[in-house]
Amino acid sequence: MRRSLPTVDEFLQGILAANRVVLGQAITLVESARPEHQALAQEIIAQLLQFQSSISTQETLRIAVTGAPGVGKSTFIEALGMQLNEQGRKVAVLAIDPTSSVSKGSILGDKTRMERLSTSELAFIRPSPSGESLGGVARKTRETILLVEAAGYETVIVETVGVGQSEIAAHSMTDVFLLLLLPGAGDELQGIKRGIVEMADILAVNKADGDRVKLANQARAHYLNATHLLPSKPSGWLPKVLACSAEQGMGISEIWQTIQDFKMHTLANGFFHENRRQQAGYWLREALEAGLKNAFFAHPVVREKLAVIEPDVLAGRMSPFAAAESVLKFFLNRAKA
């Protein structure tokens, strides 16, 4: 017999008491496609938001970490996470990896990552949700942030793969954006899109150890120059370029200090809160768009009309735009009736 799910109250109590099993179950609900799971997840989140409005947002920090595959993201996150744990800070590590849904082999990988951090009492690591679209994957991660924060993980790291759209999603749910780079190579060789460099608040050249120190310094100078040429940011923050060795634990404290500086800077000028407000608005519109789209295509009237009209479009007897217009009109008229 299947065990029944905990009630909303049991979920709330479990999450607020930082029960990891209950937290994991709640995230599974968020990730589930089943309507009854979604309904329960929404109820839990709605109730948690009531609690959360009483927690000061100044206590939480959401950090995006990105960079090309192999740059050292998991090594870095583990090093930073362990340092924060040593200071008594709780850290949650989430991920947005749309490749995990496209192909079986995800870029962030199924290999055992962050072995030390994953056994720490003060850390909670969750692999990327899967989903049919990046939007779906990202939305689940965004909701999971609320859950882990309610469970007291005041620092949340959102890891992405560094090769495209998932960075924009991570950027739209975090306070500070950290880009890891390799020693030496320029943008093209790093596999990093220019837009991603522009999003970064902090750039860190990793693997600055052994005989790579010189190359790391070159990369640092290159990116320092590049960031000076970028238009100024709405946060009023000038991106910082640092070097580190995640493997040897060097430069990690400096990066954490710079993250703190960024937070102080944006709290002082109001950007921190304004950015979170804008992000909430963005996700409201995203959720509406996704909901509308699903409702539209699932509607019997739309299915019926599409079944009739689509063959005409495919055969070139009707333009796709005229057909879309006609289906929309049909749907909106029915909705009014």
The residue ranges that bind ligand GDP (CB under 6 A) are 67, 69-75, 206-207, 209, 245-247
100 versus 235: smaller Cβ distance to ligand GDP: 100
Name the percent of the chain in helix, strand, coil, to the closest 5. Answer: 60, 10, 30
Q: Bridge partners of 66?
A: 179
CB 71, min distance to ligand GDP, A: 4
CB 68, min distance to ligand GDP, A: 7
CB 244, min distance to ligand GDP, A: 7
CB 163, min distance to ligand GDP, A: 11
75 versus 144: smaller Cβ distance to ligand GDP: 75
67 versus 81: smaller Cβ distance to ligand GDP: 67
What are the residues whose beta carbons fall under 8 Å from the beta carbon of 99, sequence distance 6 or more?
105, 106, 107, 108, 161
What's the CA gap between 294 and 264, in Å, rounded?
A: 41
Which residue number places its CB atom closest to ligand GDP?
A: 72
What's the CA gap between 314 and 185, in Å, rounded?
A: 47
CB 207, min distance to ligand GDP, A: 4
Torsion-angle region of residue 200: left (phi > 0), alpha (psi -120 to 50) or beta?
Answer: beta
What's the CA gap between 313 and 319, in Å, rounded?
A: 6
Asked if 306 contacts 327 with a C-beta cutoff of 8 angstroms, the reply is yes
Return the DSSP state at 155.
E
CB 170, min distance to ligand GDP, A: 14
100 versus 266: smaller Cβ distance to ligand GDP: 100
136 versus 164: smaller Cβ distance to ligand GDP: 164
CB 185, min distance to ligand GDP, A: 14
113 versus 305: smaller Cβ distance to ligand GDP: 113
What's the CA gap between 93 and 84, in Å, rounded?
A: 12
71 versus 148: smaller Cβ distance to ligand GDP: 71
76 versus 153: smaller Cβ distance to ligand GDP: 76
CB 333, min distance to ligand GDP, A: 52
What's the CA gap between 31 and 330, in Å, rounded?
A: 34
User: DSSP string covering 159-207, please?
Assistant: EE-SSSTHHHHHHTT-SEEEEEE-SS--HHHHT--HHHHHH-SEEEE--
The vertex-147 CA angle with 143 and 152, nearest 5°, equals 145
Q: Bridge partners of 93?
A: 125, 157
